[in-house]
Structure 1
Amino acid sequence: MGRRTDIMLTAVAPAVWGSTYIVTTELLPQGYPLTVAMLRALPAGLLLLALVRRLPKGIWWVRAFLLGALNFSFFWAMLFVSAYRLPGGVAATVGAIQPLIVILLSRIILGSPVRALSVLAGVAGIGGVALLVLTPHAKLDFVGVVAGLAGALSMAFGTVLTRRWQPPVTPLVYTAWQLAAGGIMLVPAALLLEPALPAPTAANLVGFAYLGLVGGALTYILWFRGLSRLEPSAVSPLGFLSPLVAVLLGWGLLGQTLALLQILGMAIVLGGVWLSQRAQMAAPAMPRSPRLDACLPKP
């Protein structure tokens, strides 16, 4: 299976994550961010664990819970705090700094070179997201901005460390460990900080099932698979596709309008994603663990 196929499969994850906003606002009860995050992660993680029937061993217990916190529990908590305290456009723009953080962390943790095209792609992506989702009347909130930056930093660390720590298991098993660990850590926060969730409606159940099984389990299997095969600096900019898909869904399903600046923002976002992949094409491939390769499906 070639690099182009790896990129396309990995890109499915952030594209699907772009539907999270519309599913949350249209199908889920409002005002329960931690409970929603917990119900998105824990059932999916436990289901995957039941399917794979394999638990971590030794140091992988610690790493699974650390990565579960970085990629899920802490990241999703900060994401929801940012979304509740900031207009969606501001929250998305703050979060778009993540690829630049990944470039820096990849240099420090993995020893990856800093490529000018990768930096340019990250800057272009931030500009494109800003044009895509910011409004002239958007207001800043200090706590919301700090939460957005904390979430971006958490996901960036999770992305790089997921690449750094490759266990001798398939991406399916690795996803099960992290989802379950992240969901477990969200349980006390949801119980202590939020009121009890009301009896779910049929629409609520559909929304939870979609976010857990499709937006959680399936997409993160593809995301972690991509991180086992591609550099984090190539994977992270694919996240720019999330706000692009969110805007397109709002236009297509909710009747929202698309201004000329938003269309320009879409073009810049796609250009940033293309530049980020172009920057990696001439680079030597990152080595993969032989034990991991033995567990991955053969092309």
Structure 2
Amino acid sequence: MNRNQGYACLAAAMALVGSTVVASKIIAAGLPPFTATALRFALALPCFALLGWLTGTRLPRLGWRDWLLLTAQAGAGSVGYTTLLIAGLARTTAVDGAVILGTLPLVSAAIAIALLGERPGKATLLAIATAAAGVWLMTRGPATPGAGSWIGNALVLGAVVCEGLFILLQKRLRAPLPPLALSTVMCALGLAVCLPASLMEAPWTLALSAEALLAVAYYALVPTVAGFVLWYAGAQRVAGSEAALFTAVAPLTAVLLAAGVLHESLSAAQLAGMACVLGAVFIQGWVRKPVTVAR
């Protein structure tokens, strides 16, 4: 695979990540969040296990501290991220969710600065400020259709913070895990964490939406599993700073799909917010290597 093919893999992977916003919007209309999250992990886990068996990937020996960290990662980055994203998109538009989701690289950097004491450069501070301005521009615009949109936006931002905490906890592991092993463990622990909460939602008493179930299957098998394969296939063949720039494809794809598939309108404030977030991602991409995420 040459560099151009690597670029294509990265772009495709991030486009699939962007499509999860639309999938989550559809899921939110027909399934409770913990039930949807449990189904996602239950479908993705056998696929990751099969990939691990085919590639001979093995889980290294871990101490109890690392297992506690992995469980916390699963609670934050896997369960927290997915459930808050679905719950948020039940209350706000997919366009708003896409713009906020695009701030993930900057939120991760801000958490590292606040909790790990990392010293940011001027470019990083500029990127964080630009992304914050984008979210502010979006939220101060005309209210989006449906009551409680600000609550939905807050929940989506909470999902992004959970993913940022996932990245922070990953840095604290004493024994780094291979990416495929990490994804498999996250699916297994995420399923174990959210299963009791999903049972409390009593999904067997609900009229489950076929469209929502198909969206969960898509989320589990395409962005989660196929997106993982595409990202790592591309990231192995390009520089870290180049790979980081492709994270901008995710929110852009999400906005385009929200407008094209869900027929949501785009306000001037939303477009301005998206422009700021994309600009911030490009600034950040030039100065930091990307942190790969296994949700």
TM-score by length of 1: 0.71
Provide the alpha-carbon RMSD of the alignment.
Answer: 4.1
Question: How far, CA to CA, are the matches of 2:170 and 2:262 in structure 1?
Answer: 36
Q: Does 1:171 align with 2:179?
A: yes
Structure 1 contact 128–269 (Cα < 8 Å) conserved: yes
- Three-state SS of the structure 1 residue aligned to 2:203 is coil
Aligned to 1:190: 198
Structure 1 contact 17–215 (Cα < 8 Å) conserved: yes
Question: How far, CA to CA, are the matches of 1:167 and 1:10 in structure 2?
Answer: 27
Aligned partner (choices 74, 90, 106) of residue 84 of structure 1: 90
The 5-angstrom pairing of residues 119-198 of structure 1 reads 119-128=125-134, 136-138=142-144, 144=152, 147-165=155-173, 167=175, 169-196=177-204, 198=207
Q: List per-residue Cα deviations over 1:17-72 (Å, max 9, x = no partner).
A: 22123334457861422211211123202331244244563334333322221211
The gaps in structure 2 that reach 5 residues or longer are 291-295
Question: How far, CA to CA, are the matches of 2:274 and 2:61 in structure 1?
Answer: 44
The 5-angstrom pairing of residues 131-280 of structure 1 reads 136-138=142-144, 144=152, 147-165=155-173, 167=175, 169-196=177-204, 198=207, 201=210, 203=211, 206-220=214-228, 241-258=249-266, 262-280=270-288
The 5-angstrom pairing of residues 8-157 of structure 1 reads 12-26=12-26, 30-53=30-53, 54-55=58-59, 57-59=61-63, 60-88=66-94, 91=97, 98-107=104-113, 112-128=118-134, 136-138=142-144, 144=152, 147-157=155-165
Question: Percent same amino acid at aligned positions?
Answer: 25
Query: Which structure would you say has the larger RCO, counting Cα contacts within 8 Å and 6 or more residues apart?
Result: 2
Structure 1 contact 14–239 (Cα < 8 Å) conserved: yes
Question: How far, CA to CA, are the matches of 1:32 and 1:205 in structure 2?
Answer: 11
Question: How far, CA to CA, are the matches of 1:143 and 1:254 in structure 2?
Answer: 20
Tell me which amino acid in the other structure corresponds to 1:271.
G
Question: How far, CA to CA, are the matches of 1:133 and 1:245 in structure 2?
Answer: 20
Question: How far, CA to CA, are the matches of 1:133 and 1:11 in structure 2?
Answer: 28
Aligned in 2, Cα 1:262/1:164: closer, same or farther, shift over 3 Å?
same
Aligned in 2, Cα 1:110/1:195: closer, same or farther, shift over 3 Å?
same
Structure 1 contact 81–144 (Cα < 8 Å) conserved: yes
Q: 1:7 Cα deviation (Å)?
A: 8.2
Question: How far, CA to CA, are the matches of 1:119 and 1:79 in structure 2?
Answer: 26
- Three-state SS of the structure 2 residue aligned to 1:19 is helix
TM-score by length of 2: 0.71
- Three-state SS of the structure 2 residue aligned to 1:213 is helix
Tell me which amino acid in the other structure corresponds to 1:121.
A
The 5-angstrom pairing of residues 282-297 of structure 1 reads none
Aligned to 2:293: none
Tell me which amino acid in the other structure corresponds to 2:78.
F
Q: 1:179 Cα deviation (Å)?
A: 1.8
The gaps in structure 1 that reach 5 residues or longer are 287-299
Aligned length in residues: 277
Question: How far, CA to CA, are the matches of 1:269 and 1:128 in structure 2?
Answer: 6
Structure 1 contact 100–119 (Cα < 8 Å) conserved: no
Structure 1 contact 162–224 (Cα < 8 Å) conserved: no
Tell me which amino acid in the other structure corresponds to 2:79.
S
Aligned in 2, Cα 1:89/1:22: closer, same or farther, shift over 3 Å?
closer
Tell me which amino acid in the other structure corresponds to 1:123.
A
Q: Which moved more, 1:101-110 or 1:208-217?
A: 101-110
